[in-house]
Amino acid sequence: MNNTVLGILGFLIVHLSDYISLKRIPLLKPIVWLLGCSVLIYALVKICATPEKFSFPVWLIGLGWFFLFISLSALLYSLFINLPFRKTYVSPGFGDKLIKTKFYTLARHPGVLFFTIFMLSLLIISGSKELLVVVPIYILVDIVLVIIQDKIFFPRMFPGYHLYQQETPMLMPNRRSVDTFIQSIRQTKTTNGLPGGKYHGIIK
């Protein structure tokens, strides 16, 4: 199977977990999520390993590594730490609370922005000519799938999601959401220094 198509299949498998969550099917959600991620990662590795390469200057490759580290760290944090891991990826059904803290004050789907930066950085680092075609396709597929999440699945999963849609931009942060994000970080630092433990954010 073509590696580009294989990666798209990985995206579709990952997002199948939303349907599984909505139907509260036991045990299947973590298996599907891991399978989808594995297929996508395998496809990306194979694409990056293709012999047809661009030749980028060293300084640009160094910049690519910097943004790769930043974007991948932010992506992993937003998906696996900012969100409650067990309820999101392991337990049947879905979390009963809408997360509106930290990266989710910037945008309703901050992972799309981080994934886009990651893919562009990967293109620079690998120099893969095939990846030049794959990057816009994967970004477009990611956007289409999160639009389906945002319009169909999440309003049915989380009470108050319609209000969240009005308060917070979907993909690209705006001035208001950036200000809210900065304020939440400052509040977290301030509360962490108070007696009684760490501040875990406001979950509505």
Integer Cα distance of 125 and 131 in angstroms: 11
Contact 15, 149 (CB under 8 A): yes
Match 């009684």 to its residue by tokens.
196
pLDDT tens track for 64-112: 999 999 999 999 999 999 999 988 998 888 877 899 999 999 999 999 9
Integer Cα distance of 138 and 94 in angstroms: 26
Which ranges constitute the DSSP H helices of 149-203?
154-157, 161-167, 175-192
DSSP label of 171:
S
Integer Cα distance of 42 and 139 in angstroms: 17
Please list the pLDDT of the chain residue by residue as tens digits (204 residues). Answer: 599 999 999 999 999 999 998 888 888 999 999 999 999 999 999 999 998 998 899 999 999 999 999 999 999 999 999 999 988 998 888 877 899 999 999 999 999 999 999 999 999 999 999 999 999 999 999 999 999 999 999 999 998 999 999 999 999 999 999 999 998 888 766 655 544 443 333 332
